[in-house]
């Protein structure tokens, strides 16, 4: 009846034990054995089992002794509750969308791993939240997170993709490819794939792929061109424009500016007592202008010309805005 033990006992118990260890750091043997409904002896055996699986459990004897899961050589399986799963999914989404440099690909891979097993109700919560995700620095033509996710899954599971592609000169064509790897360079996503019709490797800029991407039959993976996808993409797109390098003169001493300028912004060098210069790379004019709006002191843009132009534009726009305020609202 309801009392029916499924006799998955041991394995299930190990998982529960891991889960308990992740929910709280310290447990006494008594607490654990009570939770798991086994004898303390069996608990000790379970702990040993975890240890021989490679998950180190520290234990201390004496009064107020107990167990504690420590950091081992390998990460134990993570047992997350609903809220935590949502938090992870959302976190990965933001990280994948380029908020953090250098781990976009890993984030995307992990995200697609998570999506596969995420219960439907949680998926709804994630997508509800994701609309609030701040693509604050919407870097240029923003890539659809959904599309990235579809492509990443197709790469992993070896599914061919069909999509329309707008080439550099603006002409559209229909493609069928065997997707192998998504690569994020600079501020763009590229897909390294085997073009079925052209029978050769191609790289596709994801932001040039037209929705809808459709998933078709499976394929067997090929060996990457010259050993490495990342290298291949890098070579293929090497003619791409350099990331926007900007040079900004700050009217503040380096002692003053240093703490204000976050490390990610770029490198700061002193010029004289009252000025220093910031060399920075950014993905887009937008992100640079955001940065300028946050700078707490006077500045001067040296490079690039587009940014100078943008500053002029913003100056005018902000000027008009504040003049209008004085005029209409009148409120000092």
Partner DNA sequence: GCCATTGCGGACAGTTTCGGTCCTCAATGC
Partner DNA sequence: GCATTGAGGACCGAAACTGTCCGCAATGGC
Residues that bind DNA (CB under 7 A): 5, 7-11, 13, 28-30, 37-42, 44-49, 59-67
CA angle 53–59–62, rounded 5-degree value: 155
Work out how close the CB of 139 gets to its own copies at its nearest, in angstroms, rounded to a whole number.
11
H or E element in which residue 234 lies: helix 229-236
- Is the Cβ of residue 224 or residue 304 nearer to its own copies in the bound state? 304
- 61 interacts with, out of its own copies, DNA, none, CB within 5 to 8 A per kind: DNA
- Is the Cβ of residue 48 or residue 197 nearer to DNA in the bound state? 48
- 252 interacts with, out of its own copies, DNA, none, CB within 5 to 8 A per kind: none
- Is the Cβ of residue 63 or residue 131 nearer to DNA in the bound state? 63
The whole-angstrom separation of Cα 320 and Cα 322 is 6
- 154 interacts with, out of its own copies, DNA, none, CB within 5 to 8 A per kind: none
**DSSP three-state, residue 242:** coil
Work out how close the CB of 299 gets to its own copies at its nearest, in angstroms, rounded to a whole number.
6
The whole-angstrom separation of Cα 182 and Cα 115 is 17
The whole-angstrom separation of Cα 279 and Cα 266 is 6
Which are the contacts of 88, defined by CB distance < 8 A and separation ≥ 6?
80, 114
The whole-angstrom separation of Cα 214 and Cα 222 is 21
What is the spatial order of strands in the sheet that 66-69 belongs to? 26-27, 66-69, 57-60
- Is the Cβ of residue 48 or residue 83 nearer to DNA in the bound state? 48
Work out how close the CB of 17 gets to DNA at its nearest, in angstroms, rounded to a whole number.
11
Work out how close the CB of 10 gets to its own copies at its nearest, in angstroms, rounded to a whole number.
6
Work out how close the CB of 20 gets to DNA at its nearest, in angstroms, rounded to a whole number.
13
- Is the Cβ of residue 60 or residue 167 nearer to DNA in the bound state? 60
**DSSP three-state, residue 262:** coil
- 34 interacts with, out of DNA, its own copies, none, CB within 5 to 8 A per kind: none
């Amino acid at each position: 009846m309801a009392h029916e033990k499924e006799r998955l006992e041991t394995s299930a118990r190990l998982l529960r034990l891991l889960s308990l260890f992740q929910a709280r750091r310290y447990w006494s043997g008594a607490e654990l054995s009570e939770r798991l409904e086994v004898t303390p002896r069996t608990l000790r055996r379970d702990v040993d089992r975890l240890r021989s699986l490679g998950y180190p459990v520290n234990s201390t004897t004496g009064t107020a002794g107990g167990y504690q899961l420590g950091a081992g050589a390998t990460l134990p399986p993570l047992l997350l509750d609903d809220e935590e799963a949502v938090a992870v999914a959302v976190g990965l989404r933001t990280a994948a969308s380029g908020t953090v440099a250098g781990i976009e690909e890993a984030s995307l891979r992990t995200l697609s791993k998570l999506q596969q097993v995420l219960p439907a109700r949680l998926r709804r919560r994630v997508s509800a939240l994701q609309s609030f995700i701040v693509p604050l620095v919407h870097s240029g033509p923003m890539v659809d997170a959904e599309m990235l996710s579809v492509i990443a899954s197709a790469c992993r599971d070896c599914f061919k993709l069909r999509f329309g592609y707008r080439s550099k000169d603006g002409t559209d064509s229909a493609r069928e490819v065997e997707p192998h790897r998504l690569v994020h360079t600079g501020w763009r996503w590229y897909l390294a794939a085997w073009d079925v019709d052209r029978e050769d490797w191609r790289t596709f800029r994801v932001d040039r792929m037209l929705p809808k991407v459709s998933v078709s039959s499976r394929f067997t993976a090929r060996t990457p061109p010259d050993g490495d996808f990342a290298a291949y993409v890098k070579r293929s797109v090497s003619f791409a424009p350099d990331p926007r390098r900007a040079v900004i003169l700050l009217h503040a001493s380096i002692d003053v500016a240093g703490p204000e300028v976050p490390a990610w912004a770029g490198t700061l060098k002193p010029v004289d007592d009252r000025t220093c210069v910031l060399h920075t790379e950014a993905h887009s004019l937008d992100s640079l202008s955001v940065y300028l709006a946050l700078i707490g002191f006077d500045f001067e843009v040296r490079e690039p010309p587009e940014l100078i132009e943008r500053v002029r534009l913003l100056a005018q726009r902000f000027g008009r805005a504040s003049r209008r305020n004085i005029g209409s609202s009148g409120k000092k």
